[in-house]
Amino acid sequence: MAKNTITLRILPEENWISVPVGISARDALSTADVVLADYCGGQGLCGKCRVQFLEGAPDPSYADDEFLEKNEIEQGFRLACMARLDNDAAILVPFETRTQPSQVLVKDVEAKPIAADSGFKKIQLKIAPASLENQLSDFDLLRQAVKIENLRADLALLKKLPFLLRESDYSLTLSLCEDDLLDIEAGDTAADVCALGAAIDLGTTTIAGALYHLESGKLLSRAGRLNPQTIHGADIISRIQYASASPKNRKEISALAAAGINEVIRELCAAASVSADAILSITLAGNTTMQHLFLETPADFLPTAPYVPVFKDALNLSAGDAGLQIHQRARLFVFPSIGGFVGGDTVADMLIASLENSAKPSLMIDIGTNGEIVLGAGKRLIATSAAAGPAFEGRNIACGIRAESGAIDSVSIVEKVSVHTIGDAPASGICGSGLLSAISAFRQKGVIDASGRFNTNALPSLKDRFFENEEGLGFMLIRKNEGAQRDIFLTQKDIRQFQLAKGAIAAAVQLLLKEYGIAASALDKIYIAGAFGNFINPEDALIAGLIPAAEKEQIKFIGNAALAGASETLLRTPMRAKALELARRTAFIELAGRPDFQDIFAESMMFGIF
């Protein structure tokens, strides 16, 4: 008899487990809590889940041939998601293949139930059958029972209705979206499975989601993961280039986004122990490019002037048409955008910041690779975008890493330098908020001057932190022999990278203020949104000159407001019209074409400008 299980030895931890025959190596490892990097969600598309079979390597898959070198395959390397375990095996999981818990921002969604008004509901009905005295059609029975004069159903539901009615003895559960019938089930299922909805923030780097009960507004779970499109480039432009190369590519990059969202949905549902089939509504906010790439609407004309998107208004679509694996009649609401580079995520932020409700102008900044800035009050709202580059995400920085376990996220200097890492793990690099914190500390202690140049004479106690190599001056934050996983430092070039990023944001803020005709001192509030904004210290942002000078109380961190805004539109139907109105009403100000842009940008790279 063939055996039903095999034994798997996991190295280097020497963990021996028993798993069913035929399972994938990725799934087998996950049962032992070894979680692998998997940008594509285990579809053999990203090549990130490399492991090495020391014994019992299966035949290479087509994905192995694509992603691995011939000699690697000979050495037993395989992509774990595509490797089927039919025999006992020993697998070495390299350090770089293991995922570090990532700081994907999902914690900022309002956790308290809010009064929901989603338009979706499930209703249980016990109906009296038609009679000769009361010759109603089957559909009339439903219509009268739910008291919706113009109840609508599609043909597929009408086809199954008569049998469902009679099999269930006229006891049905209806799923409804306003006047539209979304589903009919026999018996009382409303008690088991309520009408669920998901809000999705589709970011360039990460996808975050929150699952709600659509009737009570109760938050059921949150989840986040990397956007699998990352395999085709970390930035927007390389993804657009890839997608625009052929209809096949456009389809692929759309499918990757859908796969990522579906994976987030699976996680949301697993955490809440519910089925994805119960999800009747999804709202999605992303930047204009992400929304285009996901929906397969060509982003070809976005990168070049006049930066034309296919659509800016909100879209109400079938979730299934967009590749989402939830209830077959689920609805998808896609956020309206303001322009090619101020997208649905900014509009979602705006629903949270509510600038239109304040009497004095306020400023909202979403800090990221692309910074979005909105300024205004009441009926006058203006917006622009600033290409900050990847420094805030820890990229293009010598020791930069993503905000993950082991990343330095804050730096302080008294006499000596001390660092703090995410998860208090041994330092493995520095992330965006650590960079900002370091710059702030450097400025306070004179380690850099107003132009950003290192001053090696600042503090005597820091003398030995400076070093010089072929690339120029550098400053050591923590050495390998001080408990870090390796030497971690900042170079003069890193400081310049930061200055380019903060200069872009600060210049955009100044130009918007100029356009609006007010001084920074006239601002009421400064809202800081976005994943990066959430992890920074407001004082650091002020000192580094990222935001205009302000009292601490004026600065409001609204965290991952895009997800919160998406949740608002999920749970409260009127917010959808409000989002569209805000998007249409906010004027996009194009900075690139302005004659004063270059001067103000150069000036904004300096410190002490605000």
Residues that bind ligand FES (CB under 6 A): 38-40, 42-49, 63, 79, 81
Three-state DSSP state, 157: helix
Strand pairing partners for 297?
A: none
- Nearest distance, CB of residue 267 and its own copies, angstroms: 26
78 Cα distance to chain centroid: 29
Q: Single out the residue of 307, 286, 360 nearest to residue 591, CA to CA.
A: 307
Q: Mark residues 292-321: x for contact with its own copies by CB under 8 A, - for none.
A: ---xxxx-xx---xxxxxxxxx-xxx---x
Rounded alpha-carbon distances, angstroms, from residue 573 to 210, 566, 567, 577: 17, 11, 11, 8
Asked if 340 is part of the footprint of its own copies (rule: CB under 8 A), the reply reads: yes
Which CB sits closer to ligand FES, 38 or 349?
38
Region binding its own copies by CB under 8 A among candidate stretches 94-102, 134-142, 461-469, 595-603: 134-142
Which CB sits closer to ligand FES, 242 or 607?
242
What end-to-end distance do the CA atoms of the chain give, in Å? 77
534 Cα distance to chain centroid: 13
Using DSSP, how many helices (H) and how many strands (E) does the chain show? 16, 26
Which CB sits closer to its own copies, 170 or 516?
170
Q: Which does 135 bind (CB under 5 to 8 A by kind): ligand FES, its own copies, none?
A: its own copies
* Strand boundaries in 68-218, DSSP class E: 77-79, 89-92, 120-126, 171-177, 180-186, 196-202, 206-213
Asked if 162 is part of the footprint of its own copies (rule: CB under 8 A), the reply reads: yes
Q: Single out the residue of 292, 301, 338, 238 nearest to residue 590, CA to CA.
A: 338
Which CB sits closer to its own copies, 460 or 593?
593
Q: Which does 237 bind (CB under 5 to 8 A by kind): its own copies, ligand FES, none?
A: none
- 401's tokens: 């890493």
Asked if 183 is part of the footprint of its own copies (rule: CB under 8 A), the reply reads: no
- 127's tokens: 């109906």
C-beta neighbour count of 126 within 10 angstroms: 11
- 594's tokens: 């302005």
- Nearest distance, CB of residue 311 and its own copies, angstroms: 4
Q: Single out the residue of 105, 111, 326, 323 nearest to residue 225, CA to CA.
A: 105
Which of 73, 136, 459, 609 contacts its own copies by CB under 8 A? 136
Q: Which does 398 bind (CB under 5 to 8 A by kind): ligand FES, its own copies, none?
A: none
Asked if 453 is part of the footprint of its own copies (rule: CB under 8 A), the reply reads: no
Q: Which one-letter DSSP state was computed for residue 151?
A: -
- Nearest distance, CB of residue 376 and its own copies, angstroms: 18
The set of residues, in sequence order, having a beta carbon less than 8 Å from that of 71 and lying 6+ positions away, is none
Asked if 378 is part of the footprint of its own copies (rule: CB under 8 A), the reply reads: no
Asked if 597 is part of the footprint of its own copies (rule: CB under 8 A), the reply reads: no
- 78's tokens: 């395989």
Which of 38, 64, 108, 138 contacts its own copies by CB under 8 A? 138
- Nearest distance, CB of residue 575 and its own copies, angstroms: 17
- Nearest distance, CB of residue 65 and ligand FES, angstroms: 12
Residues that bind its own copies (CB under 8 A): 129-132, 134-140, 143, 152, 154-155, 158-159, 161-163, 166, 295-298, 300-301, 305-313, 315-317, 321-322, 339-340, 588, 590, 593
